[in-house]
Amino acid sequence: MQILEVLKQSIIEGNEEHAARYAGDAIAERIDAKIILDDALIAGMNVVGEKFRTHEIFLPDVLLSAKAMYAALAKVRPLFLKEKIPSLGKVVIGTVQGDLHDIGKNLVGIMLEGAGFEVIDLGTDVAPERFVDEAVARDAEVIGLSALLTTTMPGMGKVVKILKERGLSGKIKVIIGGAPVNDEFCREIGADAYCFDAANSVATVKKLLGQSTSRAE
């Protein structure tokens, strides 16, 4: 699909205007929102990540790509939220303390919202205590933690520890995700589940809450 390739390219190049326009074009071509997300937006950011890793591009370029990604995401987002479904539960979500990466976290939020969960997004650089305080205050069943830096991953363990100290383990479930996170780390800190990607987060949260995962997500 030609349009997905040019959309992906506009994200790699950090061209906000093109990204928004081509995302609109892809929608007009009736390409499935999930395919636009996976094959153009996330695929584009993956290339950006690799170029950044190999020093082919630098931080300002990455920021431009992130802006382009958001411009495209703003067009695609309403497609995920079209159907208004009764709330399946509340999820408090955020990026852990010291970490400003929010693209993956926002995708997870969109997927969960689209599936019918009420998502309370605390943003980035969120202190461990705040996750727990907000989850309790909002009566949330799940806390979703995102971390992209190896240095900020320990913040996830702190949230699990605070829940334990307050006798909330098991009552409020914790799911974790982000590029440096894995299953082993999840077991190590005692979180309830690790999620590889945003699409998976819906099935994971439903499973944790004992809900059927049969509906397409």
Of the pair 28, 123, the CB lying nearest ligand B1M is at: 123
**Under a CB-based contact definition with an 8 Å cutoff, are residues 175 and 206 in contact?**
no
Residue 66 binds to ligand B1M (criterion: CB under 6 A): yes
Q: Which of residues 107, 132, 160, 189 is near ligand B1M by CB under 6 A?
A: 107
Residue 193 binds to ligand B1M (criterion: CB under 6 A): no
**Under a CB-based contact definition with an 8 Å cutoff, are residues 76 and 34 in contact?**
no
Of the pair 3, 92, the CB lying nearest ligand B1M is at: 92
**Under a CB-based contact definition with an 8 Å cutoff, are residues 173 and 159 in contact?**
no
Residue 119 binds to ligand B1M (criterion: CB under 6 A): no
Q: Which residues have C-beta within 8 Å of that of residue 142, sequence separation ≥ 6? A: 89, 90, 91, 92, 135, 172, 173, 174, 175, 205, 208, 209
Cβ 37 to ligand B1M shortest distance, Å:
8
Q: In this structure, how many other beta carbons lie within 10 angstroms of the beta carbon of residue 16?
A: 19
Residue 213 binds to ligand B1M (criterion: CB under 6 A): no
Cβ 78 to ligand B1M shortest distance, Å:
19
Residue-by-residue DSSP string for 127-168:
-HHHHHHHHHHHT-SEEEEE--STTTTHHHHHHHHHHHHTT-
Q: Which amino acid is present at 85?
A: I
Choices 52-60, 75-83, 129-137, 208-216; region in contact with ligand B1M by CB under 6 A: 52-60
- What is the per-residue burial (b if ≥16 Cβ within 10 Å, else e) of 71-88? bbbebbbebbeeeeeeeb
Residue 189 binds to ligand B1M (criterion: CB under 6 A): no
Cβ 92 to ligand B1M shortest distance, Å:
10
Q: Which residue is nearest to ligand B1M (CB)?
A: 104
Give contact residues for ligand B1M (rule: CB under 6 A): 42, 45, 48-49, 52-53, 59, 62-63, 66, 93, 98-105, 107-108, 144-146, 148-151, 175, 177-180, 195, 197-198, 201
